[in-house]
Structure 1
């Protein structure tokens, strides 16, 4: 019986099915009790738009909607932004908006791009001696740059291109393991396709070099390319953002919390995240709530951004908070340094209609300006979360925002939603409490 089930659930040529056939196959074999309308309900009404979305990925069945929101009142480097955010987690947009409004009257956020270099790697096995690299590298580099001159010319006109390369030996992997580490500038594009195209051209040329260079002896002609691809570790593509304010102005309206006591507790909390990895992971997740939401809204790669940020947080061997806090001469300083490899041209930034709208909302920023906006949003999110943690606690605001999700899960009507929202205003929200309230209301 189990063999028949396994056989019946196998499929060949699935990627060649059209979307309707894919839906039918899934419904027949894996989704009893569902129908095609469960997928079609989320299809775009505009068929041209749906075709664009379908082509973003493979084997598509339907769309997976996420909320596209906005956090207004962000003052960044003297300019006010309405920041687009795509995220499903309750309270994130509200928290970012609250922090933006708080800092709007206290000088806003400042930000600066520290560097914009991205990295690519070509790994290969080579039979030569490591000490020969210095003598051989000039010819190899000249050949590599020459063979890709047609690829890099257009990027160079935009201030990018290949900025340097290094031939490294990696004996910890294998005595014959080597790496070509290449530094790139990619202008306003994220640059992944450009970097990978250049590196693959390098791979072809380095194999030709090993076979025809007159500088090489027989042993040195033993070369095998293993892989060529960009690195998402971008420690040289970083942005710093910060806020600062006299302690006496750090009041929390209506909270009854003393400004100096709030600052003391806030800095204490950040110091904990600088030293305790368990706290640091949650702390940085809050930062990434803000950054990822902007990255998604603008059609950038949030997985690459996440990977780079967490690698950066672990530099030095201990995972730490990405943000820092200090008080100097009565002035509160709160800052964040984070790697952000973003683009404002190419990829989904051009293809996704909402990403295009998001970039319009931001005034068609350069990649560097977008880095500043995303980083400031991450710092705002971090500030809002810590402000709640050291005062009222995180659950009060979070569960208030989560109330609507709980009501949806309990299939509350419009009338019930209105009544529940009023009832839980100022009260602690929990799934159990909301269910009990609805049962009483209905009974």
Structure 2
């Protein structure tokens, strides 16, 4: 039976691997070799990776790919994408090429404010807490002066403080809502440091406030934390063309546009469809977020909250036909950075920013929104024409062949065979068995 371990973080990497193998990988004699196989031969680079998190044992590699031909606001981009899903890069590339010939993508940042809250309990008079907040607000701003010095010098910092009363929903619950401008930094550490100082000053000042002393009812801070829901940090991206320009050798442009718009309307109406619809959008967004060393979990959480902002979960993209003009667009809340965190540490992340021509945070927001829009266009286009599986399974075929240990020659023959035959795990298995006699 496995036993708890103490002092694990103080063990060397070899000792940690040995402990793991002895306790949890007894049935896998290759486990130690597998973990060490993915160590980087450059010891300084490996040390850099080891320091990203605690208890690092190895590296978990994911493909770093490129989707070219993205024309965004008249400028050509190649998007670095990190993902394990077979069809993501291919779909993005296809959408980029499709719209390259139709004017490309247009994108603009609508707003860039981020936010955080100091959550506290207060069971006294509503008037007392409102009066106290207005009186103490200048001191709260002053208390973070040293923390926001550098951010202010660049044009950012604390924007606004507001008192929000939620006691009608949860007894005694209030919070201070703080909005920030963090420019090219994602700003999580900056915002959290400011919020904690504001909370400390808020409680200190409350202890000396006369109205609270008389009634023995002081505000009590519960927690201080930024929010990953950033509807005031918003970007818009779109494509448009005459419906006739959507005509291809396989599809009539007008019929395609009508069916496409209908598919978007379904995703706006039915949450079960919307979840998968939006997941496809995030296939594109997350891949670029990962490549640029940003926090895809924070982005995901904020985006999906935004999709449910109207009390139901719906599509993040929109489409319409007016006067024979087809327009397809997206609005996303995106809090990302181009400085700080892994953006200046991970060598591949630095390379990704070079590939993207060193964008600032606003430019990265536009690129990410375009990546999501392109991914969604490719997915919906497949759904309303050939079906999603035809293209997806073609891309997935290589994964299946690798699982079946196909040789290089077998892969080449299989790729040729499945150009005109449906792909599945069983059909690939049958093909290889026949090939091998």
TM-score w.r.t. length of structure 1: 0.96
- Report if the CA contact (8 A) 2:343-2:349 is conserved: yes
* Corresponding residue for residue 260 of structure 1: 254
Shift of 1:203: 1.7
2:418 is matched with 424
1:250-329 counterparts in 2 under 5 A? 250-252=246-248, 254-255=249-250, 257-329=251-323
Aligned counterpart, 1:91: 87
| Shift of residue 200, structure 1, vs aligned partner | 0.8
Residue matched to 2:77:
81
Residue 330 of structure 1: CA displacement?
0.7
Match of 1:332 among 326, 341, 344: 326
Report the more deviating stretch, 316-325 or 128-137.
Answer: 128-137
Residue segments in structure 2 that go unaligned for 5+ positions in a row: none
* Matching residue of 2:146: 150
Tell me what 2:9 maps to: 15
Contact 1:67–1:87 under 8 Å retained in 2: yes
* Partner residue, 2:353: 359
Shift of 1:136: 1.8
Aligned partner (choices 365, 370, 376) of residue 364 of structure 2: 370
Mapping 1:7-406, distance limit 5 Å: 8-32=2-26, 33-34=28-29, 35-172=31-168, 174-214=170-210, 216-219=212-215, 222-252=218-248, 254-255=249-250, 257-406=251-400
1:157-205 CA distance string (max 9 Å, x none): 2221110011112214543221011001101000000000001111211
Are the counterparts in 2 of residues 211 and 221 from structure 1 also a CA contact under 8 Å?
Answer: no
How far off is 1:360 after superposition? 0.7
Q: Aligned equivalents of 2:396 and 2:422: distance in 1?
A: 11
Deviation of 1:214 (Å): 4.9
Alignment partner of 1:149: what SS?
A: coil
Residue 94 to residue 141, structure 1, CA distance change in 2 (3 Å)? same
- Cα separation, 1, equivalents of 2:206 and 2:130: 16
Cα 1:167–1:373 change in 2 (3 A) is: same
Post-superposition offset of 1:390 = 0.5
Q: Distance in 2 between matches of 1:108 and 1:159?
A: 32
Secondary structure of 2:79's counterpart equals strand
Aligned residues: 435
Q: CA RMSD in A?
A: 1.2
Aligned-partner Cα distance in 2 for 1:320–1:154: 40
Cα distance in structure 2, aligned partners of 1:381 and 1:396: 16
Q: Aligned partners of 1:142 and 1:150: how far apart in 2?
A: 15
Q: Give the distance between the partners of 1:278 and 1:175, measured in 2 at CA.
A: 34
Provide the C-alpha distance between the structure 1 equivalents of 2:214 and 2:123, rounded to a whole number of angstroms: 9
Secondary structure of the equivalent of 1:234?
A: coil
Equivalent pair of 1:127/1:220 in contact (CA under 8 Å): no
